[in-house]
Structure 1
Amino acid sequence: MSKTVAGTLYVVATPIGNLQDISARALQVLEQADLIAAEDTRHSARLLEHFALRTPMVACHDHNERSGSDGLVQRLLDGADLALISDAGTPLVSDPGFHLVRQARAAGVRVVPVPGACAAIAALSAAGLPSDRFAFEGFLPARSGARAARLQALAGETRTLIFYEAPHRVLESVMAMAEAFGAQRQAVLARELTKTFETIKDASLGELAAWIAADSNQQRGECVLLVEGLDDKAGKDVVDAESQRVLMLLAAELPLKKAAALTAQITGARKNLLYQWGLEQGR
């Protein structure tokens, strides 16, 4: 009896707006696959209909991915070829698919990327901010307190920061960024990329918040926010979040001078800067 050869899981990027951005290879994979695992089958049905594709689909989203991945992996092991797509852009990048890909690889299934559109990279390519080093942060927490804490932890980051944000939260997120990073930090709002009302606006965080507040149209559609990293020279005079945390823990038990010296040994931050920061906190 011949042993069944496992199928292949293709991770296929789809357009983020303009349907003409899909690649010829992606169309070929979607046409020849035995099954398409889609984040939202109703949404993806429009894409398939546009290109006259008849491949059957099954849902693979945040709410069923963990429970449904076993069945999809079994189909792969039985020899079926699967194409994984999200609603737009590259799967797994702030989209479902991680659990399926991980289980497939653990089962020895071949996983093949079919690259294409990604909103974060598209925005970075046109933003005019430093692009040699960047950090993708995905969506910020929805709750204001958690969001502020996350941004504060990133205040000392020197790489360009990239965020996704829901349109109804974009203004409050930019305002929170201005509070955490300083209103003068340069930023870019990239909205509705590749679509009819594409907007790429660069300004300081303070100016960007005022601009968004004055035009409700800027609080619609798909949003990418990019923020310039802290200047390396300026960063030398800033106590990063981890050093703050360590210093506060040690200062609760030790004199500030000793706590600052130990924190400097642990984190590499400057002892005098740590000591001064501790004094400012009333330690």
Structure 2
Amino acid sequence: MTGTLYLIPNHLGLSDNPDDALGHIIPEQVRHITSQLDYFVAENAKTARAFLKLVGIKHPLAKPLQEITISELNVNTPAQALASLLAPLLAGRDAGLVSEAGVPAVADPGADLVRLAHQHGVKVRPLVGPSSILLAVMASGLNGQSFAFNGYLPTDAALRARRIKELEGRSRSEKQTQLFIETPYRNAAMLDALVAQCAPSTLICVATDLSLETEAIQTLNGGQWKKQLAAGKAPDFHKKPTVFLLLGQ
């Protein structure tokens, strides 16, 4: 019998409670299941160990942390390495796939391992936890019936402007919310580009530090954002994880 591949959500940011830093965002059952596993696949072993240490505060780990196997799967992992990552599951060992933040396999290289697990008849069990993409859609007031996540937009100003125009056009014609993210230190440049390229009627949402005490979410149309930025009232989002959404009107 094969093992089960558990898809384990990670936090988007920690609370200030040193005795239960995960309690506000990762469900009890998820932390319990995580604590019982001794094989994990993660983007970065160091941050995965830090996550497991936090899990262990309330749910003692089944093995000492140094005895837990953590294999890395990231954008640099060659496709031929996936078979070795899956091998323990085929031998009957349960495993946890952990994202750097939020849910695994969504905007995350873990999706390749999940697909391979299905191809080999391995049971995949997704666990409940935070997704910045869904939290942003929920809080934006934009169309939650149809939406698309587009990852990062081009960093080149001209290419980015063209891409924004394309997404706005698709959003308007299909009535579909378009989501994307940016490297946190470039958030201001992204919002400036959106205001410059989008029609005044296009709705733009900026969702920052989702699930944290510093969370801030604001939806305005392009014209309103332009006035707000001109008045020096930019969002407090410098170097903070932010999701951008737009809906053409």
TM-score normalized by structure 1? 0.72
What is the total number of aligned residue pairs between the two structures? 226
5+ residue gaps, structure 1:
232-283
One-letter amino acid of the structure 2 residue matched with residue 106 of structure 1: Q
In 1, the alpha carbon distance for the partners of 2:190 and 2:131 equals: 21
User: Where does 1:30-69 land on structure 2 (aligned, <5 Å)?
Assistant: 30-52=34-56, 53=61, 54=65, 55-64=68-77, 66-69=79-82
Q: Distance in 1 between matches of 2:106 and 2:88?
A: 24
Q: How far does residue 214 in structure 1 lie from its aligned partner after superposition?
A: 5.5
Q: Distance in 2 between matches of 1:8 and 1:212?
A: 54
User: Match for residue 209 of structure 2?
Assistant: 192
Question: Alpha-carbon deviations, 1:133-170, whole Å to 9, x = none?
Answer: 22222222233333223222222212122222211222
- How far residue 65 of structure 1 moved from its aligned partner, in angstroms, is 5.6
CA distance in 1, matches of 2:165, 2:121: 41
Partner of 1:9: 5
Give the C-alpha shift of residue 206 in structure 1: 5.0
After TM superposition, give the deviation of residue 130 of structure 1 in Å. 3.1
Partner of 2:163: 150
Aligned equivalent of 2:19: none
Partner of 1:268: none
TM-score by length of 2: 0.81
The yes-or-no answer on 1:137 pairing with 2:150 is: yes
Conserved 8 A contact 1:38-1:44:
yes
Partner SS for 2:168: coil
In 2, Cα distance between the equivalents of 1:204 and 1:42?
41
Q: Which residue of 2 aligns with 1:182?
A: 199
Q: Residue 242 of structure 2 is aligned with which of 206, 212, 223?
A: 223
Structure 1 residues 64 and 48: CA distance shift in structure 2, 3 A: same
Equivalent residue, structure 2, for 1:166? 183
Higher radius of gyration, 1 or 2: 1
Identity among equivalent pairs (%): 28
CA contact (8 A) 1:175 1:206 kept: no
Helix, strand or coil at the partner of 1:225? strand
1:192-224 residue CA offsets vs partner (Å, 9 max, x unmatched): 112232211222335446279755842221111
Equivalent of residue 98 in structure 1, options 111, 114, 127: 111
> RCO (CA 8 Å, sep 6+): is it higher in 1 or 2?
2
Per-residue deviation at 1:83?
0.5
Matching residue of 1:203: 220
Matches within 5 A, 1:238-257: none
- Counting helix residues as a fraction of each chain, which structure ranks higher? 1
Residue 180 of structure 1 and its aligned partner are, at CA, apart by 3.4
Q: Structure 2 counterpart of 1:163, which letter?
A: F
Give 5+ residue unaligned stretches, structure 2. Answer: 15-21
